[in-house]
Amino acid sequence: MTASSSASAERRTVIPERRTVVLLTGASSGIGEATARHLASLGYALVLTARRGELLERLAADLGPHVLSVAADVSVPQDRARLVHAALERFGRIDALINNAGIGMGKGHWWDDPEPLRVLDVNLYAPIELTRLVLPGMLERRAGSVVNIGSVAGRVATHSMYSASKFGLRGFSLSLRRELLHAGVSVSLVSPGYIRTPLTSGTRLPMPGPEVVARAVADALLHPRREVFAPAWYGPLSLLSGLMPGLSDLLVQRLMGLREHNRAPKG
């Protein structure tokens, strides 16, 4: 054994077969942080990534020795490659990929934003490219899981760029699931509705906390599902959008109007 290979072996943590290695993006806050904490409590080994390295390091320190934090921007190809390399260097394999990282447009119209396509880069292109990087190892072992965090906005159109990214992610997830039906790799889509996270911090609608999504993700790893809504009652609501689009237009318009009203400063 060469000196370099010996050093690499010393750095690698040996993970028993019973401890599943999960790569989770967007882990520094909100749904990602709640999911990381829940999965760690269930005994998973975790590779956590987000752009905010300090928050990641603190979270990893809280969660114990079987956690690796890698600060990265998943929309950057070099960062994606570095992330996957770091995960394999530490744990030797990636058993599950959870594509959670996501951004919205913020205030204003997408056509006034100088970089509206950045939403697609993070919410759609990055999950596709990360899946492409981890899939060969899963296919070789004939075992693995991909869980994509979509949105009810991927079923009920709301904000153009955000909904475009989530409609696309839903299509990618459902089709990839069919492509891998006999390959030993499962693909699940978890579609949250309004959840209390930093992304919805300006919204004063009643919302559950991110733990409801974390539990849905954990369940999807153990019992893969085509698509699951969190909370579950968003499922019938999204079905209504397809069956009665006119009524859905009115409901979405009222909801978005209420959201903007609640965002407005009070004085």
At 146 the three-state DSSP class reads strand
The active-site residue, picked from 44, 125, 162, 234, is 162
Peptide bond into 127 cis (omega under 30): no
CA atoms within 13 A on the CB side of 137: 19
Contact indicator for 86, 36 with CB cutoff of 8 Å: no
- Can you read off the two tokens belonging to residue 163? 């909904």
What is d(CA 32, CA 72) in angstroms, rounded to the nearest whole number? Answer: 14
Residues 6+ apart with CB under 8 A from 170: 150, 154, 155, 189, 191, 227
HEC assignment per residue over 84-116: HHHHHHHHCCCCEEEECCCCCCCCCCHHHCCCC
**3-class secondary-structure state, position 226:** coil
CA-CA-CA-CA dihedral for 158, 160, 166, 167, to nearest 10: 90
Return left, alpha or beta for 184; rule: phi > 0 is left, psi -120 to 50 is alpha, else beta.
left
194 is catalytic: no
Whole-angstrom distance, CA of residue 158 vs CA of residue 110: 12
Q: Where in the sequence numbering do the catalytic residues fall?
A: 162
